[in-house]
Amino acid sequence: MFKAVKSPYLVPFDGSFRIASAPTSPPKGAPKKTQLQQRLQASVRKLDVLQQKLYADDRWGVLLVFQAMDAAGKDSTIRAVLRGINPQGCQVFSFKQPSSRELDHDFLWRVSSRVPERGRIGVFNRSHYEEVLVVRVHPEYLKGQRLPRDIPAGELWMERYESILDFEHHLARNGYVVLKFFLNVSKEEQANRFRRRIDRPEKNWKFSEGDVEERKHWGAYMEAYGAALNATSRPWAPWYAVPADDKPYLRMAVAGIVQESLESLDLGYPQVERERKKELEALRKRIV
């Protein structure tokens, strides 16, 4: 079973993570922008080779989960990290407001049906964690889920953490690498990015009144994120709380964690047996 690679941003497994103490900016002495871009590209090149081996090896599947506040850089990070990888080996799903069909199933149904095949890298842009983040901040959304019993909110979240842990442990036992990234942007930087979305016409479409309203719940969201990360970071499905105020640093850090994780799998191309090699040599002679 896969085990988490070390990183300064790895969320501990003992419940000691404190979101208020987690950095949102790069550490002192971090590489400059040009160096960060070079390191990112080096990781992307290695990921391309690793993904080819992952596909050929066909024993492991990879699931990358991205959660963050709005404007933290999820879309651009996914694009930057996976840019050089064969599109046939990747699949990306975004989870927004549940549809009526999705609400007629349990809360894990819509994500479990989109888990990548072995040999592929799957990406969840938001995920099953919305059910213990957005829904926790806005418990009125529970009415639309038509749950069959009344249950105290605190107990409900604990039950959902337990369901998520069981789901991710099941994936890990069956050959999946589950890496979860919380892009930790500061409230001040989010405000700056919102203003830029207003100032730049090509970004206007990404901004809405709802973005301003959700900022009013910042404290509640931080509490929800802290609780969720502490409850569900495990060696087989770790969370990484990566500083997101500097996008080049964020992308480099995420790519490096994904690269190291795939390298730890000891991937390789299938070995052809001696008899099959003889068959291939015979077929070679028939090529005219």
- CATH number for position 228: 3.40.50.300
pLDDT > 70 fraction of the chain, expressed in percent and rounded:
100
Tokens of 222: 């931080």
Mean pLDDT in residue range 37-45: 97
Report residue 42 CA to chain centroid gap.
Answer: 20
Closest to 256 measured CA to CA, from 235, 268, 240, 233: 240
Looking at residue 147, its pLDDT comes to 85
Looking at residue 273, its pLDDT comes to 74
Mean pLDDT in residue range 119-148: 94
Q: 279 versus 288: which is more confidently predicted?
A: 279
In a domain, 133, yes or no: yes
Distance CA 270, CA 254 (A): 28
In a domain, 96, yes or no: yes
In a domain, 257, yes or no: yes
Looking at residue 244, its pLDDT comes to 98
In a domain, 10, yes or no: no
Looking at residue 266, its pLDDT comes to 87
Q: Which of 60-69, 91-100, 171-180, 270-279 has the lowest mean pLDDT?
A: 270-279
Asked whether the predicted pLDDT for residue 288 surpasses 90, the reply is no
Q: What is the three-state SS of the chain?
A: CCCCCCCCCECCCCCCCCHHHCCCCCCCCCCCHHHHHHHHHHHHHHHHHHHHHHHHHCCCEEEEEEEECCCCCHHHHHHHHHCCCCHHHEEEEECCCCCHHHHCCCCCHHHHCCCCCCCCEEEEECCHHHHHCHHHHCHHHHHHHCCCCCCCHHHHHHHHHHHHHHHHHHHHHCCEEEEEEEEECCHHHHHHHHHHHHHCHHHHHHCCHHHHHHHCCHHHHHHHHHHHHHHHCECCECEEEEECCCHHHHHHHHHHHHHHHHHCCCCCCCCCCHHHHHHHHHHHHHCC
Looking at residue 211, its pLDDT comes to 84
Looking at residue 149, its pLDDT comes to 81
Between strands 239-243 and 176-184, the pairing is: parallel
Phi then psi dihedrals of residue 281, to 5 deg: -65, -40
Looking at residue 82, its pLDDT comes to 95
Distance CA 229, CA 17 (A): 8
In a domain, 244, yes or no: yes
Q: Which of 15-24, 172-181, 183-192, 265-274 has the lowest mean pLDDT?
A: 265-274
**Number of domains within the chain:** 1
Report residue 122 CA to chain centroid gap.
Answer: 9
Q: 105 versus 271: which is more confidently predicted?
A: 105
Mean pLDDT in residue range 92-121: 94
Q: Which domain holds residue 100?
A: 19-286
Mean pLDDT in residue range 21-40: 97
Asked whether the predicted pLDDT for residue 233 surpasses 90, the reply is yes
In a domain, 127, yes or no: yes
pLDDT in tens, 142-167: 988 888 888 888 899 999 999 999 99
Please report which confidence band the pLDDT of residue 24 belongs to, taking 50, 70 and 90 as the band edges.
Answer: very high
pTM of the model: 0.94
In a domain, 197, yes or no: yes
